[in-house]
Structure 1
Amino acid sequence: MDLKLNIVKRRNIPIRQRLAGLVAIIIISISLAGIISFSAINNLANKRISNHNLLIEKNNVLAEISGNIQRAALEGKNFIISSDEDTKVSAEIELINRFTSTDALFKSYATKISSGNDLAIYNRMLAEYDNYKKINLEILGIASSGKDTTAFSLSETVELYSFNKIMEMAAKLHINHENDFKREDKKQAAQLQSTIKIAIITAVIVLIFMVMMSSFIIRDLSKAVKKLLSYMNLVKKGKVPNQELDEFTDEVGQLASATHEITLNLKRISHIADNLSKGIYDDEIEITDEDDIIGNSLNKLKLNLQQADIEEEKRKREDTLRNWTSTGLAKFGELLRLNASNVEELGHQIIKNLVQYLEINQGGIYSKTEKNESYELTLISAFAYDRHKYLNKTIMPGEGLVGAVAEEQETVYITEIPDDYVYITSGLGKANPTALLIVPLKSGSDLFGVLELASFDVFEQHKIEFIEKLGESIATTLSTVRINSKTAFLLDESQRQSEEIAAQEEEMRQNLEEMRATQEEFARRELETQAILSAIDAALLKAELAPNGAFTSINHAFEKLLGDSAKQLSSILQLADINERGNIEVCLANVIKGKQQSTLMHIPGSQTHSGYWLSAYFTPVLNRSNKVSGILFFANNITELKNTEMELQTQQQLLLEQETFISNILQSQIEESESAVLELKKQHDLELSTLTNQLNELLSTTSTIGSVQLEQYEELKNQYDILNTELQQKQKELKNVKISDTIVEIENLDINFDSSLENKLNDWLTAFENE
């Protein structure tokens, strides 16, 4: 009776109200399940995006660190090889700025490390970077002291080794980032699949719960509801029936229609979620209104996943381009290093490999050649279709596109090329290229050449940026080659001058024999003095000093040398000459650092004594903590040796002055001898002319030869013989010059006297005798 009463009561309740309550419960359950599922899926998607952004940030920081270190290496090379002080200062400032920026990047990267393995590699990389900075700064110090060759050698060995280790560890970190991201992404994808399955299972469970709750109502419904129950049973099994439910006008019909819509929505949601898990975003998500939570959530999930995939593709693209650029720079950096001794071979290798690496059709490289106050661009290599083109081509500044690029020092990229500018020739014919790229090879503000490239395809932006970066490296290498060539030329010039000086020294060798004998005597006396000093070690001067140079004790020999002034002296600085105290302070500072020092020391004397010369040695005394607690001072008294050396220098100076004096006297005597001979020649010519005039007068006034003419003839002939005899005697005397009781024979002193008058006289005498 009670059971029937309860059934009646339930039937008295409108179906609309009963089903409305049931539907409300179902909708709330499904919404909660959908929201929970969406929240889980959305969290996974956001986490995936966050991991992707973290990967990009890590890789960007690593790329900036690598770029800064590479730039610092180039600036270090610039500092070493440049002879311009401004360039050195600029390179040093840029180097310090790069290191400062890199320090900040290392600190930023440390906050992003989440893996113990990455932390270990990071710590090793940071330690190696600190070592690299120290090495680089030490090399700069060596280069600043003028030892460019040593600095360059260290840069190519020690610095390069440290640089390669840093790049290797950076590459390992990059690989670890990629592996961690892929592993985490795979894990999140699996979680996403599990979440979707849970959402589907939850939906099925909700449907089962709905069926269970509906059983109380179905018992009270009519036969028409059975069809709806059959439909729901299929849905309960996870199937979506294709059949249409009967549309009723009462609450049962409304419930059937709502159930059908819910089933379709579940099917659509399941399909969309499955496609989203596979990366398919083509499905349109219908949003009934702005309050459609599930539709809006699914749409937001779709957009987030699409954005994540776009970012992933963008990252892969950037990584590919970055790896391509890094590989290219490393490859061409090795080519530049191996061919840095010859400009032509360098140009051949660069243009050949560049054309092949860029997959373009042809290219050429021009080198800047200084010419008077201007310059010209010379084509040193051209390459097309895997073959070198040996062309002779010179371009002046401002001439054509190449000359304009050289003048402006800016990259020119054009895709509309004049028909007669350049052709690309192949076996099938020739045609204009599609794109032309002209890049200046410059380092800072200095131009070293121009790079010209042509292709049937356009140049992508990353290739243009790569070529511009490579252009800086090529310019730096061309600068190095020029500096090396100039250094070789200066070395050859120095060797030539050394040979000339050696020849001049050989000419003076004979004049320095006496000086050499004196030096040998000095060497003998020096050996004797050293032997004596070695035999009397007990006579060494010894003192114990505090780190500041104060005397703590002196031995008897030292005290005897100083005399009464020994008690008045408190420091080694008071003992030294006032001009040498700075040198003694430097020695004390170096000894405190643990270094042995030696120096030549002068102790001032008095009015009756010139003082003492000491060969001094400073040795640090270390305590148990390996710190300098005192200084041992040893000295040899080399006053006599020093005085002998100064005396020898005085004698050497006197010998040089005497040699100069003798040379001046000899030159004066030679000039006087030449003057006397010239005077004698003049007198001889005058007398011979007079004699000839007399003979001519005799001939002109005499038609026949008599006794008077014979007497005149004999007299003139005797005068001629006497004149010749005097001339020969005087010439013989003038060939010997007397200097300080020494006869010096002057060679090649031969004055050619005028023989025309003498020949006329002989002709006349012959004619006279014949008559």
Structure 2
Amino acid sequence: MRSAIHKIETSNQKYDRVAMLTLRRHEKDFFLRKDLKYQNEFNSSIAAFADELAKQKNAELITLLGNYQTEFNQVVEIEKEIGLTDKDGKKGLLFAKLHEVRLAIDAIQKQVYEITSEKIAYARIWLVSIFVIQFMIALILAITYSNALTTVIKEIRTTMTQLAAGTFPPALTVKSQEEIGQTKIAINHFLERIQIATSFAEKLGSGELKATYDARFGSDVLAKALVNMQLKLSEAEAIQSKINWTNEGTARFNELLKDNTEDLGQLGDRILKTLVTHIQANQAALYVINDEEQCFERISTYAYGKKRFEGMKMNLSDGLIAQCAKERETIFLKEIPKDYVKITSGLGEATPRNILIVPLKHRNEISGVIEIASFQFFKEEQIAFVEKMAETIAAFISNQQSSLKTKKLLTESKAKAEHLSMQEEELRQSTEELQATQEEMNRQRAELEAEIKDLKRKLNVNSDNAVAKLDVFDHRN
């Protein structure tokens, strides 16, 4: 649940922070007060929050919000099963059984007290009779016997008084097998039963759910009630253990994938190692779909021996890997085909007992497949965990592939921009050279026009001088 909250709070998506704080407040109010109204308020608030996100078409946050709600409601159901108050759930059952134990102890105490009182009354009558009959002939003997009997009665009374006060007295000393002796034996047996029941209940209270009840008293009503309570607590602990195991594995993967910028092949090795170690498998391989070559490419392996199969490519329509991706469902093989795969160690190699093939599916898109082999049969919670982690891995691969595509497009765009910039610079230089040529031509043209004007002026001057000379010559003639 913490990881689901963290994914929402660290998301780059925009969302209503006040609504998120309201959800967190309802969550904390529930765990502080154990009141189901806070669960209802939580679900109402999260529904409103989800409607708002739906209007924004924010599918990613809606998915994360749904995970958060699911995990919170699962925790609430576990809390309800354990008991929100001392009268509910397994806690209420435990207290009810303890109340029954107290009532049984009180009843037994009352019965023992009545038996003891009856025995005491009988002993007194016996004592008086003996005293009357033998008073004259055995006064000393009667007094001695009376004192001994009174001592026994006081011893029994003291024992019962201590037990009634809630403390365990020491066992009574049995010196004879007559009625008083039999009474002491019965009281000692009762004390032993109560001590064993109390010790067993204390062990359960301290978490020793594998403790065994003394077989001598296994048929007691109290023993049956306590053993039944032990079974219920063991079932609750098993469920909580599975939840803790799943949360621990999820936390490991979140930490592994958080802000990771490694190459997908190197990261794949770490993913497979973490996954195989957590579910106690033996071998694994990670396949991703190569869109360019239209094939499955094995990018990472675990325990395949010198990674000799890494980089292997497979057709998108052949084999169990392709079948898993096509059906978009997990394939669990319990009967392994001969020579399908071998698990190798220093002592040799052997065929695994079962194989798990899980598609990497994110937003209904398949990005690859994980194949895991093991000598031990996979449990339901292990398969569910692998499927959950496959979704997380698929989301990571999808994001990384999108990032790589974006980087590639940015690189291409940058290269095109640089090429256009170079062409623009060349065009600018050509324009400047053309402008310089045009200016030079204009300058040469201006100089030529000036020379022509000067020549025309000189020609006009020469013409005028020639005309003047002709006029002078004509005048002289």
TM-score, scaled to structure 2? 0.59
Quote how far apart the aligned CAs of 1:284 are: 4.2
Q: Which residue identity does 2:264 align to in structure 1?
A: V
**Equivalent in the alignment of 2:398:** 479
Q: Secondary structure at the match of 2:258?
A: helix
Equivalent of 1:442, from 333, 338, 361? 361
Identity of aligned residues (%): 25
Equivalent of 2:227, from 299, 303, 306? 306
Q: Secondary structure at the match of 2:336?
A: coil
**Equivalent in the alignment of 2:34:** 112
Q: Which residue identity does 1:356 align to in structure 2?
A: T
1:384 to 2:384 alignment: no
1:218 to 2:137 alignment: no
Asked if structure 2 preserves the Cα contact closer than 8 Å seen for 1:71 and 1:98, the reply is no
Quote how far apart the aligned CAs of 1:425 are: 1.6
Asked if structure 2 preserves the Cα contact closer than 8 Å seen for 1:68 and 1:99, the reply is no
Equivalent of 2:196, from 263, 269, 275? 275
Equivalent of 1:425, from 314, 322, 344? 344
Q: Quick one: structure 1 residues 67 and 347, their matched pair in 2 at CA, closer, same or farther if it must change by over 3 Å?
A: closer
Q: Quick one: structure 1 residues 510 and 382, their matched pair in 2 at CA, closer, same or farther if it must change by over 3 Å?
A: closer
Q: Which residue identity does 1:400 align to in structure 2?
A: G
Q: Which residue identity does 2:31 align to in structure 1?
A: Y
Quote how far apart the aligned CAs of 1:230 are: 7.7
Structure-1 separation of matches of 2:229 and 2:346:
48
Structure-1 separation of matches of 2:229 and 2:98:
16
**Equivalent in the alignment of 1:237:** 155
Asked if structure 1 preserves the Cα contact closer than 8 Å seen for 2:298 and 2:309, the reply is no
1:358 to 2:279 alignment: yes
Asked if structure 2 preserves the Cα contact closer than 8 Å seen for 1:193 and 1:277, the reply is no
Q: 1:540-555 maps to which residues of 2 (within 5 A)?
A: none
**Equivalent in the alignment of 2:312:** 393
Q: Which residue identity does 1:486 align to in structure 2?
A: K
**Over the residues paired in the alignment, what is the CA RMSD in angstroms?**
5.4
**Equivalent in the alignment of 1:505:** 424
Structure-1 separation of matches of 2:18 and 2:343:
46
Structure-1 separation of matches of 2:251 and 2:183:
62
* Deviation per residue, 1:332-368 (Å, 9 max, x gap): 2222235444211121221133223333221111011
Give unpaired runs (5+ residues) of structure 1. 1-64, 81-91, 114-121, 145-150, 152-162, 246-255, 287-297, 517-661, 663-740, 743-771
Asked if structure 2 preserves the Cα contact closer than 8 Å seen for 1:321 and 1:462, the reply is yes
Q: Secondary structure at the match of 1:433?
A: coil
Structure-2 separation of matches of 1:453 and 1:482:
24
Asked if structure 1 preserves the Cα contact closer than 8 Å seen for 2:3 and 2:251, the reply is no
Q: Secondary structure at the match of 2:228?
A: helix
Asked if structure 1 preserves the Cα contact closer than 8 Å seen for 2:305 and 2:344, the reply is no
Quote how far apart the aligned CAs of 1:194 are: 10
Structure-2 separation of matches of 1:210 and 1:457:
65
* Deviation per residue, 1:392-427 (Å, 9 max, x gap): 422223422211111111112222211221111222
* Deviation per residue, 1:56-91 (Å, 9 max, x gap): xxxxxxxxx5365256469x46x69xxxxxxxxxxx
Structure-1 separation of matches of 2:19 and 2:336:
42
Structure-2 separation of matches of 1:410 and 1:449:
12
Q: Secondary structure at the match of 1:485?
A: helix
Q: Quick one: structure 1 residues 378 and 271, their matched pair in 2 at CA, closer, same or farther if it must change by over 3 Å?
A: same
Structure-2 separation of matches of 1:419 and 1:228:
90
**Equivalent in the alignment of 1:490:** 409
* Deviation per residue, 1:670-716 (Å, 9 max, x gap): xxxxxxxxxxxxxxxxxxxxxxxxxxxxxxxxxxxxxxxxxxxxxxx
Q: Secondary structure at the match of 1:237?
A: helix
**Equivalent in the alignment of 2:207:** none
Structure-1 separation of matches of 2:149 and 2:335:
71
Asked if structure 1 preserves the Cα contact closer than 8 Å seen for 2:315 and 2:322, the reply is yes
**Equivalent in the alignment of 1:405:** 324
Q: 1:19-34 maps to which residues of 2 (within 5 A)?
A: none
Structure-2 separation of matches of 1:359 and 1:336:
21
Q: 1:248-259 maps to which residues of 2 (within 5 A)?
A: none
1:344 to 2:265 alignment: yes
Asked if structure 2 preserves the Cα contact closer than 8 Å seen for 1:441 and 1:475, the reply is yes
Q: Secondary structure at the match of 1:459?
A: coil
1:317 to 2:238 alignment: yes
* Deviation per residue, 1:603-647 (Å, 9 max, x gap): xxxxxxxxxxxxxxxxxxxxxxxxxxxxxxxxxxxxxxxxxxxxx
Q: Quick one: structure 1 residues 345 and 419, their matched pair in 2 at CA, closer, same or farther if it must change by over 3 Å?
A: same
Quote how far apart the aligned CAs of 1:447 are: 0.9
Asked if structure 1 preserves the Cα contact closer than 8 Å seen for 2:360 and 2:370, the reply is yes
Q: Quick one: structure 1 residues 358 and 387, their matched pair in 2 at CA, closer, same or farther if it must change by over 3 Å?
A: farther
Structure-2 separation of matches of 1:319 and 1:327:
12
Asked if structure 2 preserves the Cα contact closer than 8 Å seen for 1:196 and 1:273, the reply is no
* Deviation per residue, 1:127-161 (Å, 9 max, x gap): xxx9xx99xx99x98x98xxxxxx9xxxxxxxxxx
**Equivalent in the alignment of 1:753:** none
Asked if structure 2 preserves the Cα contact closer than 8 Å seen for 1:382 and 1:389, the reply is no
Q: Quick one: structure 1 residues 70 and 305, their matched pair in 2 at CA, closer, same or farther if it must change by over 3 Å?
A: farther
Asked if structure 1 preserves the Cα contact closer than 8 Å seen for 2:3 and 2:254, the reply is no
**Equivalent in the alignment of 1:677:** none
TM-score, scaled to structure 1? 0.39
Between 1:493-502 and 1:329-338, the stretch displaced more is 329-338
Structure-1 separation of matches of 2:117 and 2:228:
37
**Equivalent in the alignment of 1:565:** none
User: How many residues are aligned here?
Assistant: 361
* Deviation per residue, 1:195-238 (Å, 9 max, x gap): 999888877765654454335422455699x9999889757634
Structure-2 separation of matches of 1:385 and 1:193:
59
* Deviation per residue, 1:425-460 (Å, 9 max, x gap): 222222110121111111131111111111111122
Larger radius of gyration: 1
Q: Quick one: structure 1 residues 67 and 345, their matched pair in 2 at CA, closer, same or farther if it must change by over 3 Å?
A: closer
Q: Secondary structure at the match of 2:385?
A: helix
Q: Which residue identity does 1:437 align to in structure 2?
A: L
**Equivalent in the alignment of 1:738:** none
Q: Which residue identity does 2:359 align to in structure 1?
A: P
Q: Which residue identity does 2:155 align to in structure 1?
A: K
Q: Which residue identity does 2:357 align to in structure 1?
A: I
Asked if structure 1 preserves the Cα contact closer than 8 Å seen for 2:250 and 2:389, the reply is yes
Structure-2 separation of matches of 1:448 and 1:228:
95
Q: Which residue identity does 2:392 align to in structure 1?
A: S
Asked if structure 1 preserves the Cα contact closer than 8 Å seen for 2:361 and 2:367, the reply is yes
Q: Quick one: structure 1 residues 507 and 386, their matched pair in 2 at CA, closer, same or farther if it must change by over 3 Å?
A: closer
Q: Secondary structure at the match of 1:457?
A: coil
Q: Which residue identity does 1:489 align to in structure 2?
A: K
Q: Which residue identity does 1:282 align to in structure 2?
A: A
1:470 to 2:392 alignment: no
